[in-house]
Amino acid sequence: MLRTGKIKSINTANSRYEVWVKIARFCKGNKLGNLESVSFDKLVLFLEQRSEEVGQSAVNIARSAAQMLTEKSLPRVKSEFETAVNSRAFFDEEITMIAGSQNARNAFATEIAGYAGLRGHELHTLRRSEERQTSPHREFHKDLYVGRPGKMYTVKGKGGLVRPVSLTPELAEQLESLRLPAPIVVYDREIRYESFYDLAGGKAWAASFTATCDRGGIRSTGAHGLRHTFAQKRLAELLALGFSYKKSLGYVSQAMGHFRTSITKVYLR
């Protein structure tokens, strides 16, 4: 329900109206109902998608407009688009060098993030595929990980989107050796996660990654570059298997938890 409030200018009114139109289209496109029934969780999901498409200023404008549709305070969302634009892929040799200079816990997280294209906080959310279903409003292709035999897991990404990820048998075996007797609560950047594995992740792991790059003289803008590496390698794998560029790009986009292939293209530069 729209909250009443003073809008100080025509420009502000127009910009908020444009955001509301985008929210309505987002809900319709993802089978999430309409603007009149939009919930707090759906608004968060919308903001997370916008954060992949636009810079921080536009994300802040979207949050301000979306805030008028709910009584609860919406979280501040960081633009991933700006991070993606400024990041670059790592060579395999660089990843091996970085992991080799980290402690064992951070090194293993680097291996998993690089292979599966995970965000730092998603490392905290790994679950066996049989323990959690993927998000019902997204249809993930059954051949998403064709050519990558291994064990299936899920992660919870931006906006709470649960998507499938595949790990090699070796990575899965090592991960299961870190299985906790009971899940623990982990707070990362003031967000609460339930972790089932004794696995590094989030801000602390990302800081270790960046510090290791600096010590080794490896040009880096942070661990987000591992997602670039995944996108480029996975696209090449699918093309080599005979899939069209369009279908391959769609598979990579789903595997990365993106809503649009146009976002994924940023990672292929």
pLDDT in tens, 44-96: 888 888 888 888 999 999 999 999 999 898 888 888 787 788 788 999 999 99
- Domain of residue 68, residue span: 10-82
**Chain center to CA of 78:** 12
Query: Is 62 found in the same domain as 186?
Result: no
Query: Is 33 found in the same domain as 127?
Result: no
Q: Domain boundary residue among 82, 109, 142? A: 82
Query: Is 26 found in the same domain as 111?
Result: no
Q: Is 1 part of any domain? A: no
Query: What's the pTM?
Result: 0.82
Residue 248 belongs to domain with CATH number: 1.10.443.10
Query: By C-alpha distance, which of 228, 193, 219, 218 is closest to 122?
Result: 193
Query: Is 93 found in the same domain as 75?
Result: no
Could you list the beta-strand ranges (E) of the chain.
Answer: 127-128, 151-156, 162-167, 179-188, 191-197
Q: Give per-residue pLDDT as tens, 182-227.
A: 999 999 887 889 999 999 999 999 999 999 999 999 988 789 999 9
Q: Domain boundary residue among 28, 55, 82? A: 82
Query: Is 125 found in the same domain as 226?
Result: yes
Counting the structural domains of the chain, the total is 2
Query: Is 146 found in the same domain as 16?
Result: no
Query: Is 62 found in the same domain as 117?
Result: no
Query: Is 216 found in the same domain as 156?
Result: yes
The predicted pLDDT at position 223 comes to 94
The predicted pLDDT at position 151 comes to 97
- 47-83: burial string, b at 16+ Cβ within 10 Å, e else: bbbbbbbbeeebbebbbebbbebbeeebeebebbbeb
